[in-house]
Amino acid sequence: MRDFLTVDRVANQIRLRRSTYTGTFLLVEGSSDKTFYKRFVDQLVCELVETSGKPSSKQRAIEILKILEQSNFQGVLAIVDADFDRLETLLNTSHNLLCTDSHDLETMLINSPAFNKVLAEFGSEEKIAQFNRDVKLVLVENGMSVGYLLWISKYDELNLTFEGITFSKFIDEQTLQIDELKLIQEIKNKSQAFSLDEKNLQKRLKSLKSKNHDPWQICCGHHLVEILSFGLRKALGSNKAADVEPNSLERSLRLAYEEIYFHQTQLYLDIRIWESRNQPFRVLRNDTTEIFRDK
């Protein structure tokens, strides 16, 4: 079992590191986030710090940032997943805390041209043509059911378990449509929440779905990748489960994500604004790609 340092100890380590390092400290939630941001960060002037651990990596990043800000520590920035924050209109009180454009890093990858590259690589051209629907749209429409349930669980403090749910138990293998009652039953069983009222939960789900929220703020990227993984085995391709397992698909999405895509995000713009307000601290590389784009 991994031994995670307390948030105070991580904050202290950063303070101690400041005596020999004058650059920016960038707090990110986990190892996959670190791998992603490392590609765009100028590692000579910016050091990435992972904040993985309990109760959540995001919460730890925010707490470490708060501890450092309270001691007037300069040159620290945290980037976390937005999750449902924009829907709950949570006020971001720190200029040193930035969020992903959509629900999480994975939804940013899927909502970019990287998705089409991965679909072309693992999908069957013939099966995708026969599917006759926009694949990304189908993923998002169905991912919203799981996303809303996650939101209900968080909002009502139901502590339902979503990790490790078996998507094949509630998805139609031809259409990729989710059977919401079967989804609720799978989550109920996985959570051992046997007293949970299925019909009431289904009603809540229907009510939320009628409110026209931005699907990219509702859907969790990991869930969308799970649905894509399932689809690439039959409806969209003929892959073995092991060849399109979610972790490897997420890796493929990261690899297919080009720097120019990142330059077009709100997060990129927010980092540049942070740099301009916190000189001489820097985060991103100044490269020719960006110079030509701006001309």
Average confidence score pLDDT of the chain: 93
Hunting for tokens 């799981």 — which residue is that? 146
Contact 123, 203 (CB under 8 A): no
Phi, psi of 24 (to 5 degrees): -85, 145
Dihedral of CA 56/162/107/230: which sign?
Answer: positive
Cβ neighbours, 10 Å, residue 96? 19
- With 50 as the cut, is the pLDDT of residue 215 above it? yes
Residues 183-193 have a mean pLDDT of: 95
Contact 77, 49 (CB under 8 A): no
pLDDT in tens, 36-80: 999 999 999 999 999 999 889 999 999 999 999 999 999 999 999
User: pTM of the full predicted structure?
Assistant: 0.92
Cβ neighbours, 10 Å, residue 222? 18
pLDDT at 88: 84
d(CA 81, CA 19): 30
Residue of 155, 148, 149, 147 lying closest to 227 (CA atoms)? 147
- With 80 as the cut, is the pLDDT of residue 295 above it? no
pLDDT in tens, 105-154: 999 999 999 999 999 999 999 999 999 999 999 999 999 999 999 999 99
pLDDT over 90 percentage in the chain? 89
